Structure 1
Amino acid sequence: MAKDEELPVEAPAPEPDGDTLDGPAEDHLRGRFGRPGPPLDRRNPFLLGLLGGLGIILAYAIFLGLRNAGSILVLIFIALFLAIGLNPAVVRLRSWGLPRGLAVAIVALAVVGLLAGGIIALVPPLISQTTELIQNVPGYIRSLQRNETVNELVQRYDIVNRVTSALNAGTVGNAVGGVVGVGRMLAGTVFNLLAVLVLTIYFMASFDRIRETGYSLVPASRRVRVRLLTDEILTKVGAYMVGAISIAVLAGASTWLLAVILGLAYPFALAVVVAVTDLIPQIGATLGAIVVSLVGFASSLTDGIVCAIFFILYQQIENYLIYPNVMRRSVKVSDVAAVVAALLGVALFGVIGALVAIPMVAAVQLIMREVIVPSQEAR
């Protein structure tokens, strides 16, 4: 071997650092347990079927969860809608220098006071009139027995025996079951009202934090525009609530004036009933009118006819004059859009749809005017 030739020097092995693998992973890379196979074929029919089946199962599980929690989700939605509608009152109180906690407490106490006032106005008349009816039942029966026409009908159709045969154990059991069902319905209604009230207070107290959290989920490049549009939509929802309450107060005041003129019993309670039911678009005013008209007919035939005529005329004025004008000025929705939205909301989603129909139309109009139309014009 020549002197100038040198043996090749083997390069020293690199020192292991923190990024090198050791243990089973290093043995696997060196082939101790075999070379890794090719990745799974995403077009494999078995893999596609398995993933598709898992997706269907997951979608069905989500559907079952939403269906089972549907009633709770509706309560949460109503509470959030009420919190958005009451937030302008909280903002107004805060502009006077009050802290948010105190402003929310004042608004919540005002809402609770209105509910308590309505209950106090309705429950005593209901109890007293029911007691009076029960006390007068024997007199009604005696007056019917003295009527020759009624006695003839009783004998001709054998009413006494039919009533006696109908009052068997099964009928009594069904009646008791009905009473239990009514009790459960009342308990469920009270629970729902309390849940909505508590959730509304929580949403009002943390309204700013919830809104800012929602804005933080939007990309920073679009956050300012989304904030401006969303704030405008929330303002329209609050304006809608103010307009709806104003219309309800007007309906209640008109009912109180009518009851005082006719001399009906408990005019304030009747006014509260009409005002509360009038908050339900389209069908609420009819429900209140039926209640007051029945009270009028119980007083006299003339009073009942006057009540029926008054509410027929008032509903036409409210539906086609007051309601569209108030909504056009507060929410800035056209008359036709307000009426059509309310009708479609009732038909699609019932009372909830009627409540959110007009604010949704205002939001859609705003998005179309500020987003869709400029995008189409830029093309």
Structure 2
Amino acid sequence: MGLLNNKKQQLEVTVSTNTLLKITLFLLGTIFTLRVIENMRHPLTLVFVSFFLALALNPVVTSLSSKLKSKSRVQATAMAYAIVVSVLVSFFAIIVPPLINQTTEFIREVPATLSDIESQDSALGDFVRRYELEEQIGNFASDWSRNLGSVQGPVLNTANRIFANVISIVTVLVLTFMMLVEGPRWLDSIWKHTPTDKRSKYQKVAKKMYRVVTSYVNGQVIVATIGAAFSLVALL
């Protein structure tokens, strides 16, 4: 009979310094790339929003430029912007004042409303009296009134957010304007550097994508307009 060799076999793996260096550089590069993407998330979002907005406005700009004697896309884009900005300004001018007034009135009337609940002959008033919640409601109303005087911090934070949003909106409008004016030139440059045998195929695909994106964006604009109209009726 043969003797069984019970000795444990040891597997030794040797990793060179060059391999460790490559792995370390790969990990550092991955971390750096993720941090860059995270820091550029907001600017990239603005660029994508501008791109889709330019796609949505491009049919209008093209139609206006074809009707102008100068055939200028700059003038057509300015006219389209004037229409869009006028609609937005009118919308916010109608919506914001009643919204602010109703919100302010609601905040001020909360303590009085809570106090009236205790004396109301209703299901809610019966619920409060049945479970003896008068003290809790009174404390909440007192705290609410006390906290109304210390709203400086939240107001400043809200003002900062509004200012940041305004800057973002202006950035989107500027980028969209540049894309609408320079877009055809950029597209012509791309097609010039595209191989001739594949150019027709890529152009067909690009046109289909353009139609799909434009239809989607315009559909969303129509839905948002309908929703805004119903909201306006409710607020007024």
TM, length-normalised to structure 1: 0.46
* Distance in 2 between residues matched to 1:179 and 1:153, nearest whole Å: 39
Q: Report the equivalent of 2:232.
A: 270
Match of 1:199 among 158, 171, 175: 175
* Distance in 2 between residues matched to 1:48 and 1:175, nearest whole Å: 58
* Distance in 2 between residues matched to 1:199 and 1:79, nearest whole Å: 6
Deviations, residues 106-128 of structure 1 (Å, cap 9, x unaligned): 11111111111111111222244
Is 1:93 matched up with 2:64? yes
Match of 1:122 among 63, 75, 95: 95
- How far 1:73 moved relative to its partner? 0.5
Q: Report the equivalent of 1:229.
A: 205
Deviations, residues 288-330 of structure 1 (Å, cap 9, x unaligned): xxxx4xx69xxxxxxxxxxxxxxxxxxxxxxxxxxxxxxxxxx
Structure 1 residues 92, 229: closer, same or farther in 2, change over 3 A? same
CA contact (8 A) 2:77 2:181 kept: yes
Deviations, residues 167-188 of structure 1 (Å, cap 9, x unaligned): 7x9x789855433333333223
Deviations, residues 84-108 of structure 1 (Å, cap 9, x unaligned): 1211111112222431111111111
Q: Report the equivalent of 1:162.
A: 139
Greater relative contact order structure (CA < 8 Å, 6+ sep):
2
Count of aligned pairs between the two proteins:
215
Unaligned runs of 5+ in 2: 1-14
- How far 1:146 moved relative to its partner? 6.1
Q: Report the equivalent of 1:107.
A: 80
Unaligned runs of 5+ in 1: 1-43, 256-268, 272-291, 297-379
Secondary structure in 1 matching 2:194: coil
- How far 1:158 moved relative to its partner? 2.5
1:20-31, aligned counterparts within 5 Å? none
- What one-letter code is carried by the residue in structure 2 that aligns with 1:158? E
Structure 1 residues 138, 159: closer, same or farther in 2, change over 3 A? closer
- What one-letter code is carried by the residue in structure 2 that aligns with 1:129? Q
* Distance in 2 between residues matched to 1:176 and 1:54, nearest whole Å: 48
- How far 1:216 moved relative to its partner? 4.4
CA contact (8 A) 1:90 1:104 kept: yes
Q: Report the equivalent of 2:27.
A: 56
Secondary structure in 2 matching 1:218: coil
* Distance in 1 between residues matched to 2:38 and 2:90, nearest whole Å: 36
Match of 1:69 among 40, 48, 61: 40
CA contact (8 A) 2:46 2:171 kept: yes
* Distance in 1 between residues matched to 2:228 and 2:142, nearest whole Å: 47
CA contact (8 A) 1:154 1:160 kept: no
* Distance in 1 between residues matched to 2:182 and 2:106, nearest whole Å: 49
